[in-house]
Amino acid sequence: MELTGQVAVVRGEEELWARTAHLFATATDVACAANDLNTWARSRHPPTPPRVVGMRVRKIYRPSVLLDPNSARHVTEVNALGADVRITPDELNETIILDRRLAILAGETSGGVRNYSVIPLPDVVAGVMSLFEAAWRGATELAVYDAQTAELRELAPRVLELLGTGCKDETAARSLGLGVRTYRRRVAELMAALGAGSRFQAGVRARELGLV
Amino acid sequence: MELTGQVAVVRGEEELWARTAHLFATATDVACAANDLNTWARSRHPPTPPRVVGMRVRKIYRPSVLLDPNSARHVTEVNALGADVRITPDELNETIILDRRLAILAGETSGGVRNYSVIPLPDVVAGVMSLFEAAWRGATELAVYDAQTAELRELAPRVLELLGTGCKDETAARSLGLGVRTYRRRVAELMAALGAGSRFQAGVRARELGLV
DNA sequence: CTCGGATCGGCAACTTCCTGCCGGCCGTGG
DNA sequence: CCACGGCCGGCAGGAAGTTGCCGATCCGAG
C-alpha cells in the first residue's frame, strides 16, 4: 500500500478488507455503488452483512445484476436483510462510503488486481457523498424495477441464446413465437439492462456475466 | 466411466487422459481437430508432445486461435515441434484420432465437465478419419494463413476495443485513422476469424477468448 | 520505367437493425 | 357494459452495417 497525501491506494481487495474490516464492522451508514457483484461481493470478506437494526445500508446496482439468476438472488437476499437497494441504468464507478466519513473508490485494474483509493478527507468524502445522493435519487427502488422487468427476465435466457447463435431477428423471433417487433423490443430492453450501446458490446457483457 | 457397446464415454479430461495416456505415448499418427485451445491443451496431460521423428501429428484449428497472442504462440511452438497445423473457418467438433484405430470425440458439457466418447470400432474410426481427411484438405497451412492475417492481428486489439465501447463504425474508423470501408473490412475479417455470424456473437466469442 | 499485385477508401445497392406510431386484443375496475 | 392501461405486432422511415465494384496509390520485380 502506498500513501498519496492522506489518500491510501491499496492493491487488491484482500488488502482493502485487511485495512478496512474494523471500519465495516462498526459502520452504521453504508453507501455502495457497483456495476456488478464481482467487485464487492463474492470476496473473502463480505463488506456489508447488515446485522444491526439501527444501521442504514444503501446499494446501487446496474440492471444487469437482475439478469443473472445468481446475482438476482443475492441482491434479493441483501435486500431482505434490510439493505435499501436501487437500480440505475447509468454507469457508476464502484464506490463505498462509510458513515459519510470515509470513501473508497475503485480504480484501475492492472494484472488482475484492482486498485482502491481509501479517502478520509472530509471535503472529498462530502463531495462523493453528494454525488452518491444524486445517483440514489435518480435510481429505482429494487422492488419497483423488479416488477417492471419480470417478464423480460423470463425471456432473457432464450433471447440471449438465440442472439448467441448469430441468427437473424426474423428467425429468432419466429423461434420464440414472437413478432419481430416484439423480439426487437426484448433485445433493446436487454441491451439497456446490460448497458450496451451495440450488439457487440451486449455480447461481451452477456458473456462477462456468464449469461451465454 | 460408462460403457455403451464398445464405445466408452468418459466424463472430464482427467479421466480421458488416465484412460488413454498409454495410447498417446505410443501413437505415431495423431489427427486432432479443435475449435480452441481450452479443450485439449492446457490440461494436466498435454495430449501430443511430438518427440519422435517418425510420427505424424496433424492439427486443425479455427482462425480464432491466432487472435489470442498466447494461443498463437502455443500453436506456433507446436508447429515448430514438428506437428502439421492447419486452419479452417469451419466449425469442427473436437476430435482426436490415434493411429487410425481409435477416435475420441468430445460431446456435451454438463456441470463443467465434458463428455468424451472413446471409439475403437474400426468402421466408425474409418468414417471419422475420412471426414477428418476432407477437413484437412480444405484447411489452410498455418504458415500461409498466418501470413495472410498478419496485419489483421496487428489491428485486431484496437478494433475489438473500439467495438467493445459500443461506438459507431464511423467513429471507430476515424479513431483508427482508417476509412469506414476499411474499418468494416477489418471487422468482417475479425468476425470470420471468430466464426461469428453477427456482431453479438462476435462479442461473445471475443470475450470467451479474453480478447476484450 | 513499366508492369503486376496488393491495399485503401469512396460509392452504391442491399440487408439488417432501430424505433415511433398506431390499431387490435385482453384483463381490471368502475 | 365501457373506459382504461398494458402488451403485442404490423408498418414505415431512418440509421447502421454488409458487400461488390472500381479507381487511386504504393511498392517490388523485371
pLDDT digits (tens, 9 = 90+) for B71-122: 888 888 888 888 899 888 777 889 999 999 999 999 988 888 899 999 999 9
A208 with B207: Cβ contact below 8 A: yes
How many CA atoms, within 13 angstroms, populate the side-chain half-sphere of residue B209?
Answer: 28
* CA gap B95, B83 in Å, rounded: 16
Checking if the pLDDT of A52 tops 60, the result is: no
Environment class of B80 (CB within 10 Å of its CB; exposed 0-12, middle 13-18, buried 19+): exposed
Same domain, A67 and A118: yes
Same domain, A114 and A184: no
Q: How many domains does chain B have?
A: 2
Same domain, B170 and B112: no
Q: Is B199 in the A-facing interface, judged by CB distances under 8 Å?
A: yes
Chain B CB contacts of A186 below 8 Å: none
Over residues B133-176, the pLDDT tens digits come to 988 887 888 887 777 677 678 889 999 999 999 999 999 999 99
**Closest-approach nucleotide to residue A199, Cα vs C1':** C17
Tell me the β-bridge partners of A84.
A58
B133 CB neighbours strand C below 7 A: no
What average pLDDT does range A65-76 have in this prediction?
A: 85
Looking at every residue in chain B, the average pLDDT score rounds to: 86
Looking at every residue in chain A, the average pLDDT score rounds to: 86
Q: What is the CATH number of the domain that holds B179?
A: 1.10.10.10
Enclosing domain of residue B89? 2-147
Q: Answer with the residue of higher pLDDT: A152 or A163.
A: A163
What average pLDDT does range A135-143 have in this prediction?
A: 84
Pair A29, A100: CB distance under 8 Å? yes
* CA gap A70, B205 in Å, rounded: 23
Same domain, B82 and B23: yes
Output the pLDDT for position B3: 59
Same domain, B8 and B88: yes
What average pLDDT does range A26-50 have in this prediction?
A: 70
Under DSSP, the state recorded for B39 is T
From residue A26, alpha-carbon distances to A57, A101, B184 in Å are 13, 13, 55
Question: What's the distance, CA B40 to chain centroid?
Answer: 9
Same domain, B82 and B181: no
* CA gap B115, B136 in Å, rounded: 24
Which of A128, A147, A166 is at the close of a domain?
A: A147
Which of A147, A170, A195 is at the close of a domain?
A: A147
Same domain, A96 and A183: no
For chain B, the straight-line distance linking the first and the last C-alpha, in angstroms and rounded, comes to 38
pLDDT band at A102 (very low <50, low <70, confident <90, very high): very high
Which of A98, A125, A147 is at the close of a domain?
A: A147
Same domain, A178 and A143: no
The phi, psi pair for B105, rounded to 5°, reads -115, 130
The phi, psi pair for B157, rounded to 5°, reads -55, -45
- Residue A92 (CA) to nucleotide D15 (C1'), in angstroms, measures 28
Same domain, A143 and A96: yes
Same domain, A98 and A178: no
pLDDT band at B194 (very low <50, low <70, confident <90, very high): very high
Same domain, B6 and B84: yes
Q: What is the CATH number of the domain that holds A6?
A: 3.30.870.10
Same domain, B159 and B80: no
Q: What is the CATH number of the domain that holds A192?
A: 1.10.10
